[in-house]
Amino acid sequence: MNRYFFWISLLVAILLSGCSSTETASDEPDRSGFPNIVLIVADDHGTGDLGCYGNQAVKTPNLDYLASEGIRFNNAHCTSASCSASRSVILTGMYNHATGHYGHMHHFHHFRAYDHVYSLPVLLEELAGYHTGRIGKYHVAPEEVFYFQEVMQANQRNPVAMADSCISFIQENQNHPFFLYFCTADPHRSSALSDQPLAPDAFGNVEGGHVGVEETYFTTEDVQVPPYLPESKACREELAQYYQSVARVDNGLGRLFGHLKDAGVWDNTVIIYISDNGIAFPGAKTTIYQPGINLPCLVKNVEGSNKGTVTNAMINWADLTPTLLDVAGVLPGAKGKLKERYESEKEDMFTTINESFHGRSFRPVLENTEIEGWDETYASHTFHEITMYYPMRTVLNRKYKLIWNIAWQLPYPSSTDLWASSTWQVALKGGSGMYAGRSIEDYMQRPKFELFDLEKDPWETRNLAEHPTYTEDLELLKKKLHAFQERTNDPWILKWEYD
């Protein structure tokens, strides 16, 4: 008798299971053909420090391979050269002066986005049914806003271990669209300051190397000192450490690419590689000078369309979220396969997000790398650390760049690690009064407006704001900056009236 009831119960369970799966299949939108998305964000990696961008000293064969499989952007920019602030823009499509995520979220800094903000992983899950997962550096808040369904764990300084920790996530989603947010802590400076004065920072490197990583080592003679950094033994020592950290990122990405290929999802995966801000040296990170905001951006399209090409379209990180939603078929008019019924169910969210984005989808650039109309971009920086209040707003085009230093009466603040760096301290104590092509005095005490001719002065050493020849250009750029602040709800727009 017990055996009879067992088999009846089993049969009923099977039938119910079949009904349930049928209902689920009919209720779910058709996601066949949706591409997977892998967004890779390195920490403090400058544009000049990849082989595919012309640096033959640093070793980045896997990133160079990604460039050969995709599109290399020469004019991609973050909007704030600070870790947390930049990441909040990457994941929302909004400038942080409008989301409240003005600077670092950790410890006593405690910046965070407003609760009503929608983030990329939430939108991909809610509007397109993606499975979302993240690994590595997070550095945004609150988690309810920047929610991922799955969080993988690994040493953030070991990109190889990070890649291996993603294997299950990738394999479990072979037949379902997924969004993987892969963020290394390299090549950021090491968190602890050295107890040896003027010693080079380790940039996350450890004696004997990280487990499973084929470490690449560099000498002071191997590195290339860019024009925005000082030519000194201290700088070269730190660059050698930084290069090793960059090479470690590359090594881990080679492992990640292998896992995507092994799972059979490489061809149907859009891969984007960027950095949150420029290299962690004075003159780059935390500034809105070009070394701080002009960053690497490599994009592999589905099935490799436009592979091995280069574009000069000017984009910024506020464009990333709308672009990836466009790729996933979420934006109005997108070419994806989202059902109308599914869109209507989420109509309120659908309308809200598309009205709130400050960036725009650069999917047209992915389809036509020589497309016109991408000739201007903006940046907005307010904080790095809580003690580093120095709001700057920037507009730049093909020729000119205007920086409005809103708190120009204050000395320019430096982050703890950059101030203590041997590169800065040697320059500060060296007696020349210069840091690369700029005087230390000018670096520390900046004027209200800085206007640069990027064609003639790419390293931004000659301020033209007070030159009568450029008065008309200056006024035009001021108007553009004011209009930008209006349309992005920037509270600091009031400073035009009360300064």
Claim to verify: residue 270 and residue 136 sit in the same structural domain: yes
Claim to verify: residue 80 and residue 216 sit in the same structural domain: yes
Claim to verify: residue 291 and residue 435 sit in the same structural domain: no
User: Does any domain span residue 303?
Assistant: yes
Claim to verify: residue 240 and residue 140 sit in the same structural domain: yes
Q: pLDDT tens track of the chain, all 499 residues?
A: 443 333 333 333 333 344 333 334 445 555 556 899 999 999 999 999 999 999 999 999 999 999 999 999 999 999 999 999 999 999 999 999 999 999 877 788 788 999 999 999 999 998 899 999 999 999 899 999 999 999 999 999 999 999 999 999 999 999 999 999 999 999 999 976 667 778 999 999 999 999 999 999 999 999 999 999 999 999 999 999 999 999 999 999 999 999 999 999 999 999 999 999 999 999 999 999 999 999 999 999 987 789 999 999 999 999 999 999 999 988 765 554 443 434 555 566 555 565 689 999 999 999 999 999 999 999 999 998 889 899 999 999 999 999 999 999 999 999 999 999 999 999 999 989 999 999 999 999 999 999 999 999 999 999 999 999 999 999 999 999 999 999 999 999 999 987 6
CB 82 within 8 A of CB 103: yes
User: Does any domain span residue 57?
Assistant: yes
User: Does any domain span residue 384?
Assistant: no
Give catalytic residue positions: 83
For residue 32, the tally of other CB atoms under 10 A from its CB is 8
Claim to verify: residue 64 and residue 198 sit in the same structural domain: yes
Claim to verify: residue 361 and residue 423 sit in the same structural domain: no
Overall number of domains in the chain: 2
Supply the CATH number for residue 129's domain: 3.40.720.10
User: Does any domain span residue 82?
Assistant: yes
Helix H or strand E segment including 422: helix 422-429
DSSP H helix total and E strand total for the chain: 18, 15
Claim to verify: residue 237 and residue 172 sit in the same structural domain: yes
User: Does any domain span residue 377?
Assistant: no
User: Does any domain span residue 5?
Assistant: no
Claim to verify: residue 196 and residue 267 sit in the same structural domain: yes
Token reading at 369: 């790398």
Q: Count Cβ atoms within 10 A of the Cβ of residue 427 and give its class: 0-12 exposed, 13-18 middle, 19 or more buried.
A: buried
Domain that holds residue 465: 392-498
Claim to verify: residue 280 and residue 405 sit in the same structural domain: no
Question: From start to end of 104-246, where are the E strands?
Answer: 131-136, 150-152, 178-183
Query: What are the b/e assignments for 119-154, b being 16+ CB within 10 Å?
Result: bbbbbbbbbbbbbbbbbbbbbbbeeebbebebebeb
